[in-house]
Amino acid sequence: MFSNLGLLTPARCPDPSCGRPRCFFSHAEASSSRITLPPRTDVPSTIRQPVKRRADDNEEDRIRGIVKRVTSNGSSDIKKTSSPRKPIVKSDVKPDSTPVPQTKQPAAETRPTTTSSSLSNTVNTSRPPTLPINLKPSPHPRPDRQKGLNALYTQYSKLYKPILHLSPELAHTSAFAQEAETASVSSNVRIYKTAIHQAAVSISRRPPPDSVDHPSVGTVKESRAAFELAEKEKASKLSRHKIEQYCLPLDQFDIWRYPNPNDPDLLSSDIAGSKPDGEGEEHTCSRCKVPFVVSSKDIEGRIGECKYHYGRPVPERIEGRRKWIYTCCAKERGEQGCQDYIHVFSHGDDDRELAKRVGYKTVEDIVGKKGGLGKWTNVVAMDCEMIQTTAGVTLGRVTIVDENGETLLDELVRQTVPVLDVNTRFSGVTSDQLDTAIMDLPAVRAAACMFIGPDTIIVGHGLENDLRALRLLHSKIIDTAVVFPHDKGPPFRRALRDIVKEKLGHFIQDRTSDLGHSSAVDAKSTLEVLKWKVREDNE
């Protein structure tokens, strides 16, 4: 058996009638339950002498520790004797009159930290950088990291010499960033030193920068990404000699149903604008295929005369059979429409009928051969949104962007005939927005020709509809529906959102059916897919 340690001996036995021969607790009188230790002779700290350790002192300290652990509420006398605080003792010997410096400990805790942090945050461009005091723990020794930092700083100072007057702290900032990046990916000192050497060599081989935004500025990773982006932009630049091969030949304009820019009848002043409004004319509804008479009266009361599907029928295999299902309501082709509105019509690709509403014009007819501003853009992207009026399908909004995606023109079109349907689901234009339009169709077309010249290449998707809505005849066209053809060939076309998803990896026209498309997004997307095509063909 193990010997008893006697840890419970100072505590009084909880059983008053305990008769155990070997009880662990004390059976002394109640008055003796409180252990009183012999008092110490307290001596002022100024005259206290070292005391020799004896066995009695060891025993006394042991008992004091036992009492503290066992008793839940220790004696106040015991606490006083065990407290480390110095007692106040009256003595003939006067203590030192010099007060104890109580601010010594706080000063030792705050001042060195503040000073080191402030020094680490201050950049002294006249000397090499120094690693901060409060550096995060690292498996690499601090001296090795300081040597690596100095080596990087030396190379950055040489590289940034032409632009240090623009940003004096640039060498320090890049050296700190590169060293921290290298230390974070190096598992041991050997790998760290090798990585520092390779980084220094890579920095020394960069071309000198001429601006702070130059690709040579930054860490190795940042500089490599910047050079790759610059090469990508250079390879995808839409210069004329790169993209002229994608222009639609004139002999294919009829195949893809484009208006013929050389047709003199479309420019004839005899038919231009002869019938600006179709009020009272009989047409076939382009939605429900029912004949009707065009009228702008009592539109609210006539809602429901046309029942149609705004979605397209697509083939699906249901119960082993192939069926055509509408994308708007999942109904089978031939069932009654899911939407109610009034009848509308369209002239389609009948250019002579369209010319009777508003006549066609060429760029030379609008601004002359020399041009109004004399500065046309080489490449632009254009997208138009259409609405329904008593004159058929009419231009509601036009957006033109340059090859960098910057908007050159984004204008709503003021209507001169009654509006039947703004077609917000697809156009993205609301009635309130259309009421704020200032320029009519001829004015918007003239504004577009401030950027579109006779030799300007217009990029778009399904541009034949946009040119007809703008009543503009132009021969230099790049249609992304032709550049990325449908498997079945013309007149079938792939949707722009499918091409963007396949080639660029992101979605457009992914909004709810009530918000419609964005002509600005569509115009920029046609440029991006064309840039992708240029990069692919030049690799």
- In angstroms, rounded to a whole number, what is the distance separating the alpha carbons of residues 346 and 314? 23
Give me the pLDDT at residue 95, please. 40
Structure tokens at 267: 């420019």
Q: Do 147 and 73 belong to one domain?
A: no
Would residue 284 count as lying in a domain? Answer: no
Q: Do 376 and 462 belong to one domain?
A: yes
Would residue 160 count as lying in a domain? Answer: yes
Task: Tell me which residue has tokens 């690596």.
Answer: 148
Q: Which of 235, 254, 270 is the last residue of a domain?
A: 235
Would residue 534 count as lying in a domain? Answer: yes
Give me the pLDDT at residue 29, please. 58
**Nearest Cα to 454, choosing from 374, 393, 513, 347?**
374
Would residue 305 count as lying in a domain? Answer: no
Produce one character per residue of 61-91: b if its CB has 16 or more CB atoms within 10 Å, e if not.
eebeebbeeebeebbeebeebeeeeeeeeee
Residues 6 or more apart whose Cβ sits within 8 Å of residue 10: 26, 35, 63, 66, 67, 70, 71
Would residue 519 count as lying in a domain? Answer: yes
Give me the pLDDT at residue 193, please. 94
Give me the pLDDT at residue 399, please. 96
Q: Do 369 and 231 belong to one domain?
A: no
Burial of 467 (0-12, 13-18, 19+ CB in 10 A): buried
Distances (CA, A) of 79 to 29, 48, 61, 130: 22, 21, 13, 51
Q: Do 521 and 398 belong to one domain?
A: yes
Q: Do 530 and 386 belong to one domain?
A: yes
Give the pLDDT of the chain (539 residues) as one tens digit per residue: 567 777 778 888 888 888 787 787 887 754 444 444 455 544 444 444 444 444 445 555 555 555 455 444 444 443 444 444 444 444 443 444 434 344 344 443 333 333 333 333 456 777 889 998 888 778 889 999 999 999 999 999 999 999 999 999 999 999 999 999 999 999 999 999 999 999 999 999 999 999 999 999 999 999 999 999 888 888 778 888 889 999 999 999 999 999 999 998 898 888 888 999 999 999 999 999 999 999 999 999 999 999 999 988 999 988 889 999 998 999 999 899 999 999 999 999 999 999 999 999 999 888 876 555 557 889 999 999 999 999 999 999 999 999 888 999 999 999 999 999 999 988 889 999 999 999 999 999 999 999 999 999 999 999 999 999 999 999 999 999 999 999 988 888 999 999 999 998 888 875 444 556 788 899 999 999 999 999 888 87
Q: Which of 235, 252, 281 is the last residue of a domain?
A: 235
Please, what is the angle between helix 463-470 and helix 441-448, to 10°?
A: 120
Q: Do 62 and 183 belong to one domain?
A: no
Q: Which of 189, 207, 235 is the last residue of a domain?
A: 235
Distances (CA, A) of 41 to 18, 82, 93: 38, 13, 15
Q: Do 385 and 522 belong to one domain?
A: yes
Q: Do 41 and 160 belong to one domain?
A: no
- In angstroms, rounded to a whole number, what is the distance separating the alpha carbons of residues 216 and 208? 7
pTM for this entry: 0.66
Q: Do 382 and 455 belong to one domain?
A: yes
Strand pairing class (457-460; 379-389)? parallel
Residues of the domain holding 67: 1-87
Would residue 350 count as lying in a domain? Answer: no
Q: Do 67 and 147 belong to one domain?
A: no
Structure tokens at 394: 């009419």
Helix (H, G, I), strand (E, B) or coil at 411: strand
CATH value at residue 494: 3.30.420.10
Would residue 71 count as lying in a domain? Answer: yes
Total of domains in the chain: 3
Give me the pLDDT at residue 496, please. 92
Q: Do 444 and 528 belong to one domain?
A: yes
Q: Do 421 and 527 belong to one domain?
A: yes
- In angstroms, rounded to a whole number, what is the distance separating the alpha carbons of residues 456 and 377? 6
Give me the pLDDT at residue 358, please. 94
Give me the pLDDT at residue 90, please. 42
Would residue 328 count as lying in a domain? Answer: no
- The amino acid sitting at 298 is D
